[in-house]
Amino acid sequence: MGDRLPVFKMNGIGNRIAVVDLRAHLRAGGTPLTEAEARTLAGPSRGLGFDQLMALHPGRDGADVVIAIHNSDGTPAGACGNGMRCVADVLFAETDADRLVAETTAGALAMTRGPRPLTYTIDMGPARFGWADVPLAHAVSDTGAVDVPLGVDDAALLGPAACASMGNPHAVFWVSDPQAIDLARLGPMIETHPLFPDRVNVSFVRVDGPDAVTARVWERGAGATLACGSAACAIAALAARSGRTGPSVRVSLPGGNLDIEVRPHDGHILMTGLVETEAVGSIDRDTLTVDLGRAAA
């Protein structure tokens, strides 16, 4: 039997998250999870069933923790807003601090306790709008209106995409009814379109007013999910940039709501929302056997 890695089966407004604590394991000379191992842990026989896995590594260079993020297909993810709130819940249980900093491939992200129990606010940093930042396969004159040719009739009704990076790529389509979109068909077509060399997260969004939108999301590497925090941030940034909403907006997703604020003075995006712990257990590092010993109260 190998080391036992603490694991938390959680969700952020329905976005299925596994938080795996490798800090002690790595300090003792262990190795990080590989893409293949993350993909195995996402399999139905393991019982975790996550959209994203957040692997906690020891902190460094002023960060309280370093986080490696995997999608359910094992591929790395640069950002996961709902997962960051789940990480915040795990870490704040260990400390009386009001603010923690996590290092990710998307940069250093600050986490604070939210206004209500089980809510947390994550400073996701600013959105980036340059075509090479997204990235796109070639230069475009306006990343707020990018033609994504798909060659199918109903795709023409979508209009152009608004694109941005939140440390991961996002394409947002402004539509009259997100529920009318064939997400399972159009989502993967857009995710893997040659225009997006790193693939892309795809959102279909209705603007409900100056401070409210409704969205459905197809996540790269995970498919249709009940919520996507980085997508909600990209949506809010793109909506504010185009004048569709103000700087503060509630993003309604199938799993629940996220409150997003685009800070006017520096463009940083603050995301606030709930988390839930479903079960707590451990993973055998050698066999990847998962033991979810108890459900959370």
- Which of the residues are catalytic? 80, 228
Q: What backbone phi and psi angles, to 5 degrees, belong to 218?
A: -110, 115
Q: Count of CB atoms within 10 A of residue 12's CB?
A: 32
Q: What backbone phi and psi angles, to 5 degrees, belong to 79?
A: -155, 150
Cα 58 off chain centre by: 21
Residue 137 · residue 149 · CB < 8 Å: no
In sequence order, the 6+-apart residues with CB closer than 8 A to the CB of 293 are 279, 280, 281, 282
Of the candidates 86, 98, 109, which has an alpha carbon nearest to the alpha carbon of residue 7?
A: 86
Residue 57 · residue 32 · CB < 8 Å: yes
